[in-house]
Amino acid sequence: MKLKKKYKSIFFAILGLTILLTSCNKDDVKEVTAADEVVGLQKIDTLIKGNYTFYIYKKDTGNLVVGYNEVYIQLKNNVTGKYVEDATLSWKPLMHMTSMSHACPYSTINKVADTKTLYKGYFIFIMASSDMEYWEVTYDYTSGKDTLAEVTNRPTVVQSTGKIRYKSFKGVDNTSYFLALVNPTSPKVGTNDITAYLYKKVDMLTFSPAQNYTVEIDPRMPDMDNHTSPSNVNLTYDSTTGLYKGKLNLTMTGYWKINLIVRDASNTIQKGDSITSTTTASSIYFELEF
């Protein structure tokens, strides 16, 4: 009787374990490797310095462009062969021109959410590079006060041949502004989230986000008698992300001109024109075609 009970409990214990193991196996998630995390990205540079290698990526092929560029970084410890998962990274772009040098708007570098090894930031380049005049980006890996690695590269920055997604202008306050479209990258018919960055120049080396401005949008189709869509929402400043966010409605596929008016925090128009029957386009606009 007792023995029987014992066997019985052993039997159930084994059964239970089997179930547990089987279910464990089933739920087994394939470990995400560093290589998996850059699938779909294009490597644009490999920078080796001492024990570390910086891998620089971007989403699409081709060169960096004047305007908004999202840049991804992986950092490898050449000694351990492992990717650094908790790095503090920073960078600094500088353009060396024949007579002077200047920077451009750029972000800090942050970890990409839900990844272990991937970091991300952006540059808004304001000029194209040439043989004589070039951009130099310095990448830093620090731990506390110690610089563990510092590398530079000289990326080629070209004027975008595609549709206009970036505009620099001088406001009525005589300040230089830099407006770059982030989204949509693949617009659709219907309501799109539209986001952009707006920076102003403080001095040659300092560019700061223009806060609490409004970017008014008026999407038009020049091929369709300047047809526009209803219920667009102007872009307003989101202090947590630094992005300007709005809603863009597109009624059909094709070429759209997103006419812009930039108003400062006191609602003064710094740049841009309203569309009327005689003014068919603003002095500043983005373009989308899909």
Partner 1 sequence: MIKTALCTGCCFGLNFLAIAQNKADSIKSRELKEVVVTGKTGLDSINESKPLSSIDEHLQKLSNVNLIKRGGYAWEPTINNMATERISVTIDGMKIFCACTDRMDPVTSYVEILNLDNIHVGSGLAGNLHSTNSIGGGLDLKLQKAGFHAQKLNVTLNSAYETNGNYRIIGSGLAYSSLKFYTNAGIFYRKSDDYKAGDNSTVNFSQFEKLNMFTNFGYRLSAQKSIEGTVIYDVASNVGYPALTMDVKSAKGLITSLSYRQENISEVFFNWETKLYFNNIIHVMDDTKRPNVAMHMDMPGKSRTGGYYSTLNGRLGKHNFVISHDSYYNQSSAEMTMYPKDAANKPMFMYTWPDIRTFNTGLTLDDRYIIDLKNTLQLTTKTSFQRDGVESTFGYNTLQMYYPDMTQYQNRGLWSVSGKYTHYLQDIQLKAGVGYGTRAPSPTEAYGFYLYNSFDNYEYIGDPQLKNESSVEGNIAFALTKPTYSISLDGSYFYFSNYIIGKPNTSLSTMTIGASGVKVYQNLNHATIFNANLNTKYIFLKYFHWLNHLGYSQGQDNKNNPLPLIAPFSYSTSLDYVNKKFSAGVDLQGATKQVNYSAEYGEDLTPAYFIVNTSVGYDFIFGHVAPTVKIGIENVLDRKYSTYADWNNIPRKGRNVYINLKINL
Residue 282 has which token pair?
Answer: 């603003």
Binder of Cu ion out of 64, 95, 260, 288 (CB under 5 A): 95
Contact stretch for Cu ion (CB under 5 A) within 123-131, 169-177, 193-201, 243-251: 123-131
Q: Residue 93 CB, nearest distance to Cu ion (Å)?
A: 11
Contact assessment for residue 110 and residue 121, using Cβ atoms and an 8 Å cutoff: yes
Q: Residue 289 CB, nearest distance to partner 1 (Å)?
A: 5
Residue 256 has which token pair?
Answer: 């759209």
Query: What is the spatial distance between Cα 47 and Cα 141, in angstroms, rounded to a whole number?
Result: 12
Query: What is the spatial distance between Cα 10 and Cα 62, in angstroms, rounded to a whole number?
Result: 65
Q: Is 183 in the site for partner 1 (CB under 8 A)?
A: no
Q: Is 66 in the site for Cu ion (CB under 5 A)?
A: no
Contact assessment for residue 288 and residue 183, using Cβ atoms and an 8 Å cutoff: no
- Contacts of 234-241 with C-beta under 8 Å, sequence gap 24+, read 235/194, 235/195, 235/196, 237/198, 237/211, 237/212, 237/213, 239/211
Query: What is the spatial distance between Cα 154 and Cα 93, in angstroms, rounded to a whole number?
Result: 9
Residue 183 has which token pair?
Answer: 């989204």
Binder of partner 1 out of 10, 19, 48, 224 (CB under 8 A): 224
Binder of Cu ion out of 127, 128, 158, 221 (CB under 5 A): 127
Q: Is 230 in the site for partner 1 (CB under 8 A)?
A: yes
SS3 200: strand
By a kind-dependent CB cut-off of 5 to 8 A, residue 95 interacts, out of Cu ion, partner 1, none, with Cu ion
Q: Residue 153 CB, nearest distance to Cu ion (Å)?
A: 17
By a kind-dependent CB cut-off of 5 to 8 A, residue 127 interacts, out of partner 1, Cu ion, none, with Cu ion
Q: Residue 287 CB, nearest distance to partner 1 (Å)?
A: 10
Q: Is 234 in the site for partner 1 (CB under 8 A)?
A: no
Binder of partner 1 out of 156, 242, 254, 280 (CB under 8 A): 254
Q: Is 231 in the site for partner 1 (CB under 8 A)?
A: yes
Contact assessment for residue 196 and residue 235, using Cβ atoms and an 8 Å cutoff: yes
Whether omega for the bond prior to residue 184 falls within 30 degrees of 0, making it cis, is: yes
Q: Residue 250 CB, nearest distance to partner 1 (Å)?
A: 8
**The pairing of beta strand 157-158 with beta strand 64-65:** parallel
- Residues that bind Cu ion (rule: CB under 5 A) add up to a total of 3
By a kind-dependent CB cut-off of 5 to 8 A, residue 59 interacts, out of Cu ion, partner 1, none, with none
Interface contacts to partner 1, rule CB under 8 A: 188-191, 221, 223-231, 249, 251-255, 289-290
Interface contacts to Cu ion, rule CB under 5 A: 95, 97, 127
